[in-house]
Structure 1
Amino acid sequence: MRADGRFKFASMSRRAAVTGAALAAMAALAGCSGSSAGAGAAEGDMAKGAAEGAKVTVVEYASVTCGACAAWQQQVWPEFKAKYVDTNQVRFVFREFPTAPEPVAVAGFLMARCAGEENYFPVVEEILASQQEMFGPAGPRPVLLRIANGVGLSEEQFQQCVTDEEAIAAMDARIKAALDAGVGGTPTFMVNGQTVQDNSLAGLSAAVDAALAEG
């Protein structure tokens, strides 16, 4: 897998939260294992379903370059969404945690945010579904650019998105917050702040149903 030099955002991986130990930690995430993490709302959260303050909040830390995240998105998310999110039983929060190759993941997330809040989840889902193509001989840029064009972003706007210093600094802050919370892999799922090791529909349903039944 390679990151096309034309992205011009490789320097991001040497900034703030993505340096030193943080980079070493993310380099070890190829296996996409999960760990404990903090709870509560965080700046930059993207969410679906019930409103903030809902009885049950499910948080997913994920990366658009993580194969296990793509598999979960394809195999579990449709049923989970229909059962809990579309019915407003839970608030589903998605948090970005770029994994190798980090520059590609960061570019994807930056582009998704540039596309606007209404397009954020569709863009992330399209990138996850396009992983095989993205890491093919042509590299990730043509795939990301095609997705950007699909939501109305020109090539120039795409380039501005993935090199925007303010957006990169905000991404750094989100990564640092995840690392400080103890996130050690993707996908990591929490139900009301408690990490759920079984990320299958059955495993997540058991945790969500128990939380819904409390009180």
Structure 2
Amino acid sequence: MITRAIAAALAVAALGAAASLPAQPAGKAAARDWTRAVSATPDGGFRVGNPAAPMKLVEYGSLTCDHCAHFARDGMPKLLAGPVKSGQLSFEFRNFVRDPYDMTAALLARCAGPGDFFALTDALFDAQRDWIARYQAMTPAQSAEMNALTQGQKIDKLAEFGGLYAIAARHGVPAAKAKACVTDEAAFKKLAEMRKIAAERDQLQGTPHFLLNGKPLAVHDWAGLEPLLKTPAG
């Protein structure tokens, strides 16, 4: 067993040895991880990445669009791990609602706020086939019953019927908050306004629709988009 005296002597010797070593240069500061920077934008989207990035990519996407789900699966992980993380590119997702089911999912995703918007959006894309299949299985009587409701009541019923409340709850949106979001008239109007701007100003023809530094792109998938992100667009 090492006695206290010997242990103290060893500690002093170690300190002396450390003091005699040449000073090491200060390590390089860790680069900022820009995937942690998420904010709402004036255009109604949610942006992840460096707001001052030289490349600014916008996607107009629909949560009922299978091609958008493919892009979320194939392109987003590469975007986030590469140019978004490094600060070279910011990515903004703007909802483009196409139908009541899409409206329901979009309202819930946006209800999560900047902190959980992308996680909930990814979860909705991952489960897209399942919840769309539930809607497709509705009977004519169920559809007629829903169509007789007010807009807010209908969205509430659709969220329950499709299992979307459960998905939202797993990503930090409790039931009471979710119900308030899907019946929010201002939120309906905002999504309708975004749809109008997408078609009239941003030349949207279908989803996903991409803008790079404000310019519409004639590509609709990761294979077409990736080569355009090699250098900043003017």
Question: TM-score scaled by structure 1?
Answer: 0.71
Task: State the shift of 1:199 in Å.
Answer: 4.2
4+ long deviations beyond 6 Å: none
Q: Which residue is equivalent to 1:8?
A: none
Alpha-carbon distance in 2 for matches of 1:196, 1:49: 20
Q: Which residue is equivalent to 2:26?
A: none
Tell me whether 1:170 sits opposite 2:167 in the alignment.
Answer: no
Q: Deviations for 1:59-86, whole angstroms, at most 9, x for unmatched residues?
A: 1110110000001111222112212111
Tell me whether 1:57 sits opposite 2:56 in the alignment.
Answer: yes
Q: Does structure 2 conserve the Cα–Cα contact (< 8 Å) formed by 1:196 and 1:203?
A: no
Q: Secondary structure at the match of 1:172?
A: helix
Task: State the shift of 1:202 in Å.
Answer: 4.8
Alpha-carbon distance in 1 for matches of 2:59, 2:68: 10
Q: Secondary structure at the match of 1:73?
A: helix
Q: Deviations for 1:26-67, whole angstroms, at most 9, x for unmatched residues?
A: xxxxxxxxxxxxxxx74322101111x431101111011000
Task: State the shift of 1:200 in Å.
Answer: 4.5
Alpha-carbon distance in 2 for matches of 1:104, 1:202: 28
Calculate percent identity across the aligned residue pairs: 29
Q: Which residue is equivalent to 2:111?
A: 114
Alpha-carbon distance in 1 for matches of 2:119, 2:63: 12
Alpha-carbon distance in 2 for matches of 1:201, 1:179: 22
Alpha-carbon distance in 2 for matches of 1:183, 1:158: 29
Q: Does structure 2 conserve the Cα–Cα contact (< 8 Å) formed by 1:79 and 1:201?
A: no
Task: State the shift of 1:157 in Å.
Answer: 2.8
Task: State the shift of 1:201 in Å.
Answer: 4.0
Aligned positions, number:
170
Q: Which residue is equivalent to 2:90?
A: 91
Alpha-carbon distance in 2 for matches of 1:118, 1:208: 26
RMSD: 2.1
Higher RCO (CA 8 Å, separation ≥ 6 residues): 1
Q: Deviations for 1:65-111, whole angstroms, at most 9, x for unmatched residues?
A: 00000011112221122121111111111111112xx1111111111
Q: Secondary structure at the match of 1:135?
A: helix
Tell me whether 1:191 sits opposite 2:190 in the alignment.
Answer: no
Q: Secondary structure at the match of 1:86?
A: helix
Distance 1:199 1:186, change over 3 A: closer
